[in-house]
Amino acid sequence: MLSMGIITLNATEINAIFWTKGKQIPVKVEVTLADSWYIQASKDVSKAGDYLISKKKSAYMLFNIYERANNTAETYANIQTRNGFTKHTMGDKQIFTKEILKDRRRVDIGRFISTPKKVSLSTTLSLYDNYLDKNIDKELEEALLIMASAKIISFPDTSNIINPKIASTKKSIDDGLLKVQHYAENGDSDRFPATCVFADSHLIKYTYPNAPKEIYDYYANATTLCYGKIHAQALHAKLKKEGNSACRLMEVTLQITHIKKHVEKTNDLPIWNNFMDDYKKICPNHNNTGY
């Protein structure tokens, strides 16, 4: 049980790392530091924040900040509680701790901050080798006070940062579209619409858990292009290459695939209309398509 005795505290600034959109950005945090701790400056603030180290060399910690845009203080508390964390009330602040004994003894500490962004401030109270089996109530008490005192001074503008995972996912979708575009140019219409499954948004849950709406929208647009515009281009190329011999199977395809509704969504009706003009000329006896 923590005693929360009298501890002398002094306000100071430290560097922490803000993790956002797959990037890590240095951020200044003001903490009220116990006089039994000191700061060891980071060698590279673009990679790690400053270490806080107890003067008796029993424990150390550094701070990280994580975006929690979809959380509230209540949902964050519920998540921490479900994960086995203990809640400590420090004035109007709620601090959560969990002692980890596997591999190496340490205490994870977290706190939700709602302004200016919804984030969690996290640290791990790690023990030096000589203190792994000793009482660390004093160090933990001081760490909780430091965590409760923390104020994020300012956040950088992250609006122009491109999340590398999002960029990679989009590139994968674009590569898939290029591949099916090649099929279309060669008139390989038999590959459609089955080949369009590469852009099925349901695949996201397997490839990109918790994907943002931006990715779902990108998948949806790629799907629409594949089922609509690109499929129409594939049929048109096949019609030009094979002429009347393609008419019977093409009539069946047009009856069951409803390509036009997908074409309309991407404003590509001119491509559809050009295809229809040629189709009606080359296949005058196969116009009962229902398109």
Q: Tell me the domain boundaries of the chain.
A: 9-152, 164-282
Tell me, what's the pLDDT at 287? 67
Higher pLDDT: 206 or 173? It is: 173
* Structure tokens given for 182: 């090649």
Closest C-alpha among 261, 248, 234 to residue 289: 248
What pLDDT, on the 0 to 100 scale, is given for residue 47? Answer: 86
Per-residue pLDDT for 57 more than 60? yes
Start-to-end CA span in the chain (Å): 74
Helix (H) and strand (E) counts for the chain? 9, 11
> Quick check: 51 and 6 in contact, CB under 8 A?
no
pLDDT at position 206 is: 62
Q: Is the pTM of this model over 0.75?
A: no
Q: State the pLDDT confidence band at 241, using cuts at 50, 70 and 90.
A: very high
pLDDT at position 163 is 76
Identify the pLDDT of residue 35.
87
Beta bridge partners of 52: 39, 61
On whether the 9-152 domain is CATH 3.40.228.10, my answer is no
pLDDT value at position 260? 92
Q: How confident is the model at residue 123 (pLDDT cuts 50, 70, 90)?
A: very high
Flag whether pLDDT at 276 surpasses 90: yes
pLDDT digits (tens, 9 = 90+) for 143-154: 999 999 999 988
